[in-house]
Structure 1
């Protein structure tokens, strides 16, 4: 996302640029976590199929890979969508509000989301602790590894909400809108 000349040289240019860049870093990290997860799951499952048909044997660990990586894929996609403001939302009423009231609603919603995401991530730590004693049967990897995706994902979502609040407060709310293009800008 590129800042306009006015905002990059104006009063709110540098803080807005830093906040938008922070959201962009979160987006790319989440996107690559998702890409790695889906590629690793595909390659492991494909290797299981090849081994089964060529050597008539089974790679048991292959079935455990999706258990570990699918939660990371899911949270990566959720965080990436939130960082780009492409999550599902009904903005018809908010768009019709006067600017000041619209900013208050955006800030209010993001503060509520930030608190909710922080609470969920804290509760996720309890799940990680409980799941730490559970291990996958073949690889012996703790199931808590998969549940760390919940903690990491909701911490990232809370940070994105905080960044959205700060962007609106400093006056750069035009950069918190979703991009015009709904396609991938390239990997």
Structure 2
């Protein structure tokens, strides 16, 4: 009987840490996407059903709550898309570059993406402070909640892009996540 082999055995400590971070972020975002997706399905169904049953206009919270949940759903999907290599990309130039230039380009692009999302996180947090003064009249929640979804999603996207950059720097361009062929420009 053969013993199970640890997939991280023989990998550098940096790559093991990145693997752990990536698994944690993926689990968190998959859970968020699933739970918010189901919540949206339920809330929108309740809202639509109530409009037909209650002839006065439906249930107020069933109309407002999806607006608060939707940003969390979207940002979890953005993080998962970046992590899986399914984010918007045009990879025509990659075919004509040498492996060293491909590696440099992938590292550079992901470093720029990481910096841009850190800046977006800061902006979202600044806006959350301003929007906190607005209170949803139906739910009583602060207007800052969607901005926190943007901030958290942005920092997780930055972490994902930085992880890709480091991984590609160490292992080469082939270590970059490969999106599905139908999602790329060929």
The TM-score, its normalising length taken from structure 2, stands at 0.83
Whether the 8 Å contact between 2:106 and 2:173 is mirrored in structure 1 is no
Q: Distance in 1 between matches of 2:179 and 2:47?
A: 40
Q: Could you tell me which residue of structure 1 aligns to residue 105 of structure 2? A: 105
Whether the 8 Å contact between 1:27 and 1:84 is mirrored in structure 2 is no
Listed as ranges, the matches of 1:47-126 within 5 Å are 47-56=46-55, 58-126=58-126
- How many pairs align? 176
**128-137 vs 86-95, which moves further:** 86-95
Q: Could you tell me which residue of structure 2 aligns to residue 129 of structure 1? A: 129
* Matched residue SS, 2:171: coil
**133-142 vs 167-176, which moves further:** 167-176
Whether the 8 Å contact between 1:24 and 1:83 is mirrored in structure 2 is no
The answer for unaligned runs of 5 or more in structure 1 is: 183-187
Whether the 8 Å contact between 2:104 and 2:169 is mirrored in structure 1 is no
**111-120 vs 57-66, which moves further:** 57-66
1:164 aligns with 2:164: yes
Q: Distance in 2 between matches of 1:170 and 1:43?
A: 45
Whether the 8 Å contact between 1:85 and 1:177 is mirrored in structure 2 is yes
1:62-97 per-position Cα deviation (integer Å, ceiling 9, x unaligned)? 111121011111111111100111112111212321
Q: Could you tell me which residue of structure 2 aligns to residue 175 of structure 1? A: 175
**24-33 vs 148-157, which moves further:** 24-33
State the superposition RMSD in angstroms. Answer: 2.4
Shift of residue 175, structure 1, vs aligned partner: 3.4
Q: Could you tell me which residue of structure 1 aligns to residue 32 of structure 2? A: 33
Whether the 8 Å contact between 1:134 and 1:142 is mirrored in structure 2 is yes
After superposition, the Cα gap between the structure-2 partners of 1:138 and 1:145, relative to the gap in structure 1 and judged at 3 Å, is same
Q: Distance in 1 between matches of 2:181 and 2:20?
A: 18
The TM-score, its normalising length taken from structure 1, stands at 0.82
Whether the 8 Å contact between 2:30 and 2:80 is mirrored in structure 1 is yes
